[in-house]
């Protein structure tokens, strides 16, 4: 059993409007993300299934087949390999859960988040 404390995990400032805290387990990556109003996560895709649990704020997800608005208290499931972009409509805090582990993040292949 491993205990993780969010208040003890260093917050990584990816760019001026986006930061994250990350836990990698044997099979999952869990990230607490902080997006300032106007923050954009550029269009990308990954092999991982993703579930975004929005704690507070509003996020617009842009997919090939349209847009979805996510509001605080809602969750969005994104299938593997689905291209998407995210725009923070207001200051937002979310948990992103990924299965399997985000190997690209472990390798440092996350330059799209650092723009």
pLDDT tens for 14-41 read 999 999 999 999 999 999 999 999 999 9
Quick check: is 24 in a domain? yes
Quick check: is 70 in a domain? yes
Looking at residue 102, its pLDDT comes to: 96
Quick check: is 101 in a domain? yes
Looking at residue 58, which CATH number applies to its domain? 2.60.120.10
Looking at residue 109, its pLDDT comes to: 86
Looking at residue 53, its pLDDT comes to: 98
Quick check: is 28 in a domain? yes
Quick check: is 2 in a domain? no
pTM of the model: 0.94
Domain range for residue 62? 14-114
Quick check: is 1 in a domain? no
C-alpha distances in Å from residue 28, one per residue of 25, 61, 100 = 5, 22, 5
Place of tokens 């650092």: 114
> How many domains is the chain built from?
1
- Stretches where the chain sits below pLDDT 50 are none
Q: What are phi and psi of 111, to 5 degrees?
A: -60, -30
């Amino acid at each position: 059993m491993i205990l993780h404390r969010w208040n003890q995990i260093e917050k990584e400032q990816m760019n001026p409007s986006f930061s994250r805290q990350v836990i990698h387990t044997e099979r999952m990556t869990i990230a607490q993300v902080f997006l300032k109003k106007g923050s954009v996560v550029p269009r990308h895709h990954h092999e991982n299934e993703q579930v975004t649990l929005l704690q507070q704020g509003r996020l617009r997800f842009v997919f090939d087949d349209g847009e979805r608005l996510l509001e605080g208290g809602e969750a969005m499931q994104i299938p593997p390999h689905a291209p998407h972009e995210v725009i923070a409509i207001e200051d937002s805090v979310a948990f992103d859960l990924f299965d399997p582990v985000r190997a690209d993040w472990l390798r440092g292949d996350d330059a799209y988040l650092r723009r």
